[in-house]
Each structure stands twice: as C-alpha cells, then as structure tokens.
C-alpha cells in the first residue's frame, strides 16, 4: 500500500500505460546523476505499480525507453543487499600494503555462510536454470543484484527477458542457434554466484583472486561444493548441462525437499487460520449491514423490530458487555466463540438483555442464525431489484 506524495516527487509519473500509483523500489537518482548499470549498460529504475485492469501490484523495471512488467513480491530484497553489502567482507582479497602480513582466511563461524544455506540456494537456482534451459531459452541475468530473496531462503530470478529484448538483432535469421552459447554462460554465472556466496565476497570471483577463493572454499567447505564450483567455472570440451551437477547435489536435494514440505505445512496451517478469520469477517460484515440501518424500504423502525431487534441485542451481547462495576468487558475469545456458534446454528440457548435491562429474551443460536440469514437475504433481494 506504499504511496508517494506526487507533489514532492515530480520525476515519478502518475501513470504508465495501464499502471498507476508508482512507488520507487530503488532510490531515484537526480536527473543529472543518472548512471548506466553494470548489468545492462543502460540507465534503469524500478517501481511498484498497480495495474488498473486487475488491481494487483506489479514490479516495473524501466530500461530508459522500455518498461518491463514483473510479478511483485512485497518485502523482497536482492541477494546483493542481503549477503554482499558489507565492504569489510572483501578485506581478505584486497591487496595488502607493503610490509603487511597476509591476513588469515576467514572461517565459517567468523562470517562465512553456512554450507547448508549455500546448497539451499544452489538447488533453487539450478532448478530455475533447468526450467529455463528445458524451454530452449537462457536466463542471462544470473547475478546477485538480480536474484530476489523473500522470507529466509526463497529465491526468485528477476529481470529475465531483458537481455533478449535489448540485444535482439533483426538481421539474425535463427536466434535459437545462440542459445547453447548463452546457456553455457548461465552455468558460468551460476558458478560465480556460488563462489561469491562461499567467499561471502564478490571480490572472490575476480580473476586475480580465484586461487585464493578456491583455497578458502577448500578449507571451509565440502569437496562436493568445491567440485561443483570448479565444474561450473572450468570450460569443458563438450557442452555442459545443468543436469550434470545433480550428482554433486546428491542427497542434499532431499534435505531441501523436506524443508519445502515443512514450509508448506506451516503455510497451510496459517492459511487455515486465515480461512477462519475470513469466515468470521463475513459474519461481522453481514451483521454490520443489518444493525442500526437508518431506513429500509421507507421504514425507519425496520432495524429495531422483529428479527432485526434480536440481532441488535446479539450485537450488544458480542461487543457491549460490562462488568459489575460498569467498566467495559472485552474478551476476544468470547466474540470468536459466539460468532462460531452463530455460524453453526447450535441449539445452545443465550440470554439477550435489552439496553434498559427491563426485558430478557432467551433464544437459541439456531434461532439467531435463522433470523440472520433471512434478514440478510431480504437486504440482498432489495439490492438486486433496485429502488422501488
């Protein structure tokens, strides 16, 4: 729901095609300081926007002259911002000054990522590449600045398709012939991402630092991780496939599968709670359309008579009870319990007391449910037929 003050952000358009309510997802540089990105060699900017056709938020990636629309994931951050935003992490690879000793390589407990986390990322990224390559396409944006992280470890690849548009050549008769070359580049890019994660530093993937980076991997991680990185970064005489690294992943795949299943169980439990919350909200919304209605079909006393009066007293029973000293008695469990009994129409009896406390009506929840359903149905029928 984030929005900007349009009067203070005149550089952000109010609408772009069918999208409105633009909100910057990245800092907007001043017009005189626009810089080309290292990935696309174009000036880019990124916004959240709402599509007027379906009223859903989207991520708009603007490559100045073009706008790409992607799914929007609220709260997502890039792999770069989560893992590579600490300049001190590159200290192991920075050139030492004259007379200084070589710094000792960092250990896992001293800042390097747990190997289990790296394998979790490998499984997801290799799965993404497998899906793309199986479709006869190439990713071409396997870079920490274009990999999104939502939650703790869920990855998504952003900006796919941008290079295909920017580098499109009309003179090329068969674009498919270049795909094997691009797919091999994807595997190298994946190797660089994994190596950077293992070193916890983007400096580790620079050519002059590769030897030190691999030594660091050998000291701190398993031989499987080392061999996977070497396989991805070493040029082979034959075309490689992302499926080739599956034996290196091995049984770790089941670890990620188990984690995914556990995550699904947690989400389903939370979803079940939201389903119940939605059901209770619909009850309250219907009750709100009935209670205290000023007039219905020119009858100003409609909400105070008949079945509607019972529902008014039930509303007071839900929300307006007081203690013996006259202070408000607020108990959410009481509200939830009473609404559930109303929805089920249980035969349990309930005492409804008038506001002047001069009359007490004893009814069952099944009676209240009948009054509730018939009254709301009466309102719906009137709304469907329109004014008399």
Strand order in the sheet with 154-157: 77-78, 147-150, 154-157
3-state secondary structure 346-371: CCCEEEEECCCCCCEEEEEHHHHHHH
Query: Helix, strand, or coil here: 43?
Result: strand
Q: What is the pLDDT of residue 69?
A: 96
- The DSSP letter of residue 176 is G
Looking only at the bridges linking them, the beta strands covering 147-150 and 77-78 are antiparallel
Q: Is the Cα torsion angle 28, 32, 33, 37 positive or negative in sign? A: positive
Give every CB contact of residue 287 below 8 A, 6+ residues apart in sequence: 311, 315, 372
Give every CB contact of residue 97 below 8 A, 6+ residues apart in sequence: none
pLDDT along the chain (388 residues), means of 10: 84 91 84 69 90 95 92 95 86 62 65 93 96 95 96 94 88 82 95 96 90 92 95 90 92 90 92 90 93 81 84 93 89 93 93 89 94 92 75
- The DSSP letter of residue 283 is H
Specify the DSSP element, H or E, that contains 77: strand 77-78
CA atoms within 13 A on the CB side of 138: 22
CA 235 to chain centre: 36
| pTM for the model | 0.74
- The residues with which 62 forms a beta bridge, in sequence order, are 45, 67
């Amino acid at each position: 729901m984030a929005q900007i003050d349009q009067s203070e952000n005149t550089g952000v358009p109010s609408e772009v095609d069918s999208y409105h309510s633009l909100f910057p997802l990245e800092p907007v540089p001043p017009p005189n300081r626009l810089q080309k990105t290292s990935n696309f060699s174009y000036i880019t900017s990124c916004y959240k926007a709402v599509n007027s056709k379906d009223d859903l938020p989207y991520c708009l990636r603007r490559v100045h002259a073009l706008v790409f629309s992607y799914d929007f994931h609220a709260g997502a951050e890039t792999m770069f911002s989560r893992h590579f935003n600490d300049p001190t992490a590159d200290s192991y690879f920075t050139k030492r000054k004259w007379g200084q000793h070589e710094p000792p390589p960092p250990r896992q407990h001293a800042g390097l990522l747990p190997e289990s986390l790296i394998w979790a990322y490998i499984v997801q990224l290799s799965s993404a590449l497998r899906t793309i390559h199986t479709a006869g396409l190439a990713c071409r944006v396997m870079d920490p600045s274009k990999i999104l992280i939502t939650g703790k470890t869920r990855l998504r690849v952003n900006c796919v398709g941008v290079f295909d548009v920017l580098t499109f050549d009309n003179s090329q008769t068969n674009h498919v012939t270049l795909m094997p070359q691009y797919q091999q580049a994807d595997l190298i890019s994946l190797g660089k991402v994994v190596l950077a994660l293992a070193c916890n530093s983007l400096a580790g993937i620079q050519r002059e630092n590769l030897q030190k980076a691999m030594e660091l991997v050998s000291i701190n991680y398993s031989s499987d991780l080392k061999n996977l990185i070497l396989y991805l970064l070493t040029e082979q005489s034959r075309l490689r496939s992302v499926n080739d690294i599956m034996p290196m992943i091995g049984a770790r795949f089941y670890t990620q599968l188990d984690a995914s299943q556990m995550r699904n169980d947690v989400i389903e439990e939370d979803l079940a709670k939201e389903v119940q919350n939605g059901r209770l909200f619909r009850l309250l919304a219907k009750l709100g359309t009935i209670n205290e209605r000023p007039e219905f079909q020119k009858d100003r006393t409609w909400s105070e008579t008949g079945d509607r009066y019972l529902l008014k007293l039930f509303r007071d029973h839900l929300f307006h009870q007081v203690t013996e000293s006259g202070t408000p008695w607020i108990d959410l469990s009481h509200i939830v319990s009473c609404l559930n009994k109303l929805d089920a129409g249980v035969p349990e009896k309930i005492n409804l007391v008038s506001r002047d406390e001069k009359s007490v009506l004893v009814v069952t929840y099944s009676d209240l449910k009948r009054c509730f359903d018939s009254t709301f149905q009466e309102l719906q029928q009137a709304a469907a037929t329109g004014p008399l």
